[in-house]
Amino acid sequence: MIEPTLNYVPCPGLAAASAPAAQTDSAPAQHRMAYWEWNATGNPAHPHVVVCVHGLSRQGRDFDTLARSLSAHARVICPDVAGRGQSDWLADPTAYQLPVYAADMLALLAQLHQQAPIATLDWVGTSMGGLIGMVVAGQSGLPLPVPVRRLVLNDVGPVIQWQALQRIGQYLGYPTRFDSLQQAADAMWAVSTSFGPHTPEQWLELSKPMVRSLPDGGWTLHYDPQIAVPFRALTAESAAAGQTALWQLYDHIQAQTLLLRGAQSDLLSRDTAQAMQARGPGARCVEFEGVGHAPTLIAADQVAAVQEFLLAAPVAKGELAG
């Protein structure tokens, strides 16, 4: 079975530390972002690149099932956003925000393009990863190797329901320690049942990259708890104010867009999904019954929806050839 390779890209910006105990005043004025690369095409310089970006408290290995499927057709890149997984932790917790994440993605794309020219660029973004995709695809003049051709927004849009943010805030960033991987998986399932049905084996595999080992033999979550600092600063008023900017980004997207929605999602309302179909890139929407926020792209029907969209022949007027 194909496995990914772990790589890093230096990202300009605030000082960072590579581990919690390593934060010092002499940290370099940049940070490293880790990314997982999948390529089963036999061509290490394959010109079709698919970038898959995870949600707020997740990491790049979330996409293993989808990436394995796509890797026979494209170079699939799954970054660990700063502060998560194998990436550096930012010295200034207030920097855990979309502009920094988007700048890191531009650095990643520049490195990938330097390694092998990118001719076709697609983006799959779950929740926060979809918002980053909107920033990247919704602004003209960014130094992209090529424009984003096809964009998958997984259970996210310009309007994020306040009650969903409150739910996430109940567990994000709080100190945790687990005695075993199974205990960690069980605890994560308790706050993730909205992901929909998973077998115990699927959930355990999805949970393994979500924790890191402690010196005493225990386990803790993989991310910097300080990613919660900007999140907790949100108010209902500031979240609502941000919707205007997000709609402006969405309305400027030129990429052909697929919107995935968990039919029971508390984060992406059906009204917002309908508005996204009527304006901007006119997204096509696919809903998954029995799933809330957010589809994990492990179930066969979810993988098929994404793969068929990304690998289909161009059909939309003005769409870039892939």
pLDDT 10s digits, 166-224: 999 999 999 899 999 999 999 999 999 999 999 999 999 999 999 999 998 899 999 99
pLDDT at 321: 36
Segment 152-163 shows an average pLDDT of 96
Range with the poorest average pLDDT among 137-141, 144-148, 232-236: 232-236
Whether the link from the prior residue into 278 is cis, omega within 30° of 0, is no
Give the torsion through C-alpha atoms of 82, 263, 261, 176, to 10 deg. Answer: 0
Segment 51-64 shows an average pLDDT of 98
82 close to 96: Cβ distance less than 8 angstroms? yes
Segment 276-287 shows an average pLDDT of 98
The Cα 133–Cα 153 span in angstroms is 8
Segment 216-244 shows an average pLDDT of 93
Task: Determine the length of the chain.
Answer: 322
Q: 88 pLDDT exceeds 70?
A: yes
Closest alpha carbon to 284 in 101, 125, 121, 150: 150
Q: How confident is the model at residue 29 (pLDDT cuts 50, 70, 90)?
A: low
Range with the poorest average pLDDT among 61-70, 163-172, 220-229, 259-268: 163-172
23 close to 91: Cβ distance less than 8 angstroms? yes
pLDDT at 315: 59
Segment 26-30 shows an average pLDDT of 54
List phi, psi (to 5°) of 8. -135, 150
pLDDT at 23: 39
The Cα 69–Cα 4 span in angstroms is 12
Average pLDDT over the chain, rounded to an integer: 92
Q: Mention every residue, 6+ apart, whose C-beta is less than 8 A from residue 294.
A: 55, 126, 127, 154, 155, 156, 194, 195, 262, 265, 267
Q: How confident is the model at residue 313 (pLDDT cuts 50, 70, 90)?
A: confident
Segment 265-284 shows an average pLDDT of 98
The Cα 268–Cα 301 span in angstroms is 20
CB-based burial label for 215 (10 Å; 0-12, 13-18, 19+)? exposed
17 close to 88: Cβ distance less than 8 angstroms? yes
pLDDT at 25: 43
pTM to 2 decimal places:
0.92
Closest alpha carbon to 18 in 88, 86, 84: 88
Measured CA angle at 103 (ends 100, 108), to 5 deg: 125
Segment 234-259 shows an average pLDDT of 94
Strand partners, 90: 16
Segment 293-306 shows an average pLDDT of 98
Q: Which residue has the tokens 């934060």?
A: 23
Closest alpha carbon to 128 in 149, 108, 155: 155
